[in-house]
Each structure stands twice: as C-alpha cells, then as structure tokens.
Homo-oligomer: A and B are copies of this chain.
Amino acid sequence: MTEPPRTARGARTRASLLEAAEHVFAELGYADTSVVRITERAGVAQGTFYLYFDSKLDLFDELVDDLNRRVRHAMSEASAAAPDRLSAERAGFRAFFAFTAEHPALYRIIRAAEFVSPRALHRHYDRIVEGYAEGLAEAQRAGEVRPDLDPDVAAWALMGIGELVGMRWVLWERGTESSAEGDAGGGVPDHVLDQVSLLVDGAIGRRTPSVTRSEENGA
C-alpha cells in the first residue's frame, strides 16, 4: 500500500516517525501509544503518518524487525571476537544487556507484542534462536559444548535467562540502586554477569556432569 518515500525529505520524515515511535512505544506500550503522540513527537501532522505507514500496527511490526536486526547485530559482533565458546557466551550476554540498557524499547515492545502482533513476536524470537542454535551446534561439533544438548532447546532456555535477568537487573534497576557497584558498561552489575556466566557455563559446558546426590553421599 504505502510506497517508500520518493524524496530525501520524505525519507527524513519517515525516519523521524520511526524514531519517535520507538520512544513512545517504549514509554507507554502499544495500546496506550496513540498515533497523535507519535506524530506530535515527530513534529508532523497526523495525516502525514499514513503517508508512510498503513497503520499503527504496520509501524509496530517494522519497529520490531528493526530492533531485532540491531540486537542480533550487537550480539553477534560481540561474540565473534571471543576466543572460545564460553567467553563468546559471556560477551553475547553482556552485549545483550548493554543493548537492553540502551534500548529499553526493544524489551518493552517485545513483551507487549504478544497480542498485538504475534507474527512479529514469533519472527523476533525465531530469528534470534536460529542464529543462537546454529552457533551452539557449531560449538558442539568443535567439542566446546556438551554433545548431548539439543541446540534448539538450549537456545530458547538461554534466551530465557537473558530475558529475565535483563528484565530484573537492567530494566527494573533503572532508578533504583543506580549501579553503585561495578557495572563495567555492561548494563548489569558485574556480579550478575559473573553469575550468569557461571550458570551458562555449567549448563552447556562440556565437563564432568554434576554429581548426583547418591554419589556425593557415597564419597
């Protein structure tokens, strides 16, 4: 329906709408975000909105895709430089938390997307998992990850860790303890990142599996 902007001016307008939307959605959620607020913030008239987007939902979807592209980029870039899988994990989580800190929009928007645009929500998670699972499989073949792991389930599980820890220590913390202690740019206290590493490490690392209680008692 809506055609891409034909002029530089049009492109600018469109971009400012997207940017405005990111902030307003993040602040108010999808339902409470009105097109008026977006256009007001973007400094354009209400009607202009429909020159570039079919609907509020259309813009929402585009925003989700856009942010999705950006997180994935941030994470893969961070982990690409790592020497081994486990430090890659740590770097990836760290990048994810940092991104979350910088773009709370993603987070808040995603969680609100459940009913708004299930399709966009699925696409978002699927895309992240796809790359993640692939990376795990590769690491498995390289012997860095325990071989009995299903990369797919693992990817979802680890993503879950990131999601809730991010929610708790990045999103909720804002304005609370103001990261008095170390938070080396990671968006999350160092201690928490350490713990996450520990957990991930244990979860997927290739190593003597945990001792069962009976063995332990027997020792």
Residues of A within 8 A of B (CB): 28-32, 83-87, 90, 108, 111-112, 114-116, 122, 125, 143-144, 146, 148-150, 153-154, 156-165, 167-168, 172, 191-192, 195-213, 216-217
Tell me whether A165 and B172 are in contact (CB under 8 A): no
Question: When the two chains form the complex, which single residue of B108, B150, B197 contacts A213, counting CB atoms closer than 8 Å?
Answer: B197
7 sampled A-B residue pairs with Cβ under 8 A: A28-B115, A83-B213, A86-B213, A159-B160, A199-B203, A200-B203, A204-B210
Minimum CB distance partner of A29 in chain B: B115
Tell me whether A207 and B209 are in contact (CB under 8 A): yes
* Whole-angstrom CA separation of A87 from B32 in the bound complex: 44
| SS of A interface (majority) | helix
Residues of B within 8 A of A203 (CB): 199-200, 202-203
**A90, A149, A210 — most chain B CB neighbours (10 Å):** A210
* Whole-angstrom CA separation of A143 from B114 in the bound complex: 40
Looking at the assembled complex, report how far the CB atom of A130 sits from the nearest CB atom of chain B, in whole angstroms.
Answer: 13
Minimum CB distance partner of A201 in chain B: B210
Tell me whether B114 and A210 are in contact (CB under 8 A): no
Tell me whether B165 and A163 are in contact (CB under 8 A): no
Known: A112-B112, A143-B216, A156-B168. A205 touches B211 (CB 8 A): yes
Tell me whether A195 and B153 are in contact (CB under 8 A): yes
Tell me whether A209 and B217 are in contact (CB under 8 A): no
A159-B160, A207-B209 provided; 17 other pairs, C-beta below 8 A? A83-B217, A85-B213, A111-B112, A111-B114, A112-B112, A149-B199, A154-B195, A156-B165, A157-B164, A159-B164, A160-B160, A160-B162, A160-B164, A204-B210, A206-B211, A206-B216, A208-B208
Looking at the assembled complex, report how far the CB atom of A210 sits from the nearest CB atom of chain B, in whole angstroms.
Answer: 3
Known: A84-B217, A86-B212, A114-B111. A204 touches B201 (CB 8 A): no
